[in-house]
């Protein structure tokens, strides 16, 4: 009987874990185990910061602290790191989560295109995504700065960032732009709000 109960708890936890991955919309290639190591001395400081955040992710999420992961070159692991952290968080909460709004991944340029389209063609699934984006405990906004900066884009993004900050929710941003570049391209209000909500 004890073994059955134990198996039931474990199996239930893994079912929740799978559900969390599906709800989060993390791309399949970034799910589960991602081995990441610093390639040289220059990467070591960034690697250590990211690894420390990952290992302390429960406290970071409780405190509403996020991360800004950036590098000018593409393919250097920014998205992989963000998804690794979210995956680690899921594994920490899966056995005690009631499938609350734990985590979500969005690729910002595609999300903004879908948001524009939703005004002309309302979609129930997208409305649910919007609600999740504003309420999930840990959000990944992937590739901020890749989209063309317009007043409409900046206002939508500022609204999302403000909403999450006011609720004390954690956000991980990835970008090819430094925060100073984001300020120049998207405005000082966006830059300052991101800076005020992330771990340096």
Query: What's the confidence (pLDDT) of residue 115?
Result: 87
12-43: per-residue pLDDT in tens? 667 777 888 888 888 887 776 555 555 555 56
Q: What is the pLDDT of residue 16?
A: 76
Residue with tokens 């690729």: 107
pLDDT for 9 = 52
8-state DSSP, 45: H
More confident residue, 126 or 144: 144
Residue 141 confidence (pLDDT)? 96
Q: What is the mean pLDDT of the chain?
A: 84
Strands 170-175 and 103-107: unpaired
The first and second tokens of residue 89, run together, are: 């968080």
Give the model's pLDDT for residue 4: 47
What is this structure's pTM? Answer: 0.85
Q: How far apart are CA 80 and CA 47, in angstroms?
A: 12
CB 80 within 8 A of CB 32: no
Q: What is the per-residue pLDDT for 84?
A: 92
Structure tokens at 55: 């290992």
- Note the pLDDT tens digit of each residue in 133-187: 999 999 999 999 988 888 988 998 999 999 999 999 999 999 999 999 999 999 9
């Amino acid at each position: 009987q004890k073994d059955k109960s134990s198996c039931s708890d474990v199996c239930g936890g893994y079912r929740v874990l799978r559900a969390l991955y599906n709800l989060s919309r993390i791309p399949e290639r970034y799910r589960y185990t991602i081995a990441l190591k610093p390639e040289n001395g220059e990467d070591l400081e960034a690697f250590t910061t990211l690894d420390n955040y990952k290992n302390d992710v429960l406290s970071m999420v409780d405190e509403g602290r996020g991360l800004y992961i950036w590098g000018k070159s593409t393919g250097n692991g920014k998205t992989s790191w963000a998804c690794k952290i979210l995956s680690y968080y899921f594994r920490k909460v899966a056995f005690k989560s009631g499938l609350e709004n734990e985590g979500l991944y969005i690729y910002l340029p595609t999300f903004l295109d879908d948001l524009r389209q939703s005004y002309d063609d309302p979609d129930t699934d997208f409305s649910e995504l919007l609600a999740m984006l504003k309420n999930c405990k840990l959000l990944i906004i992937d590739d901020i700065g890749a989209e063309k900066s317009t007043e409409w884009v900046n206002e939508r993004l500022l609204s999302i960032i403000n909403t999450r900050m006011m609720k004390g929710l954690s956000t991980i941003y990835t970008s090819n732009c430094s925060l100073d570049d984001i300020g120049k391209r998207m405005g000082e209000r966006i830059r300052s709000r991101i800076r005020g909500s992330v771990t340096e």
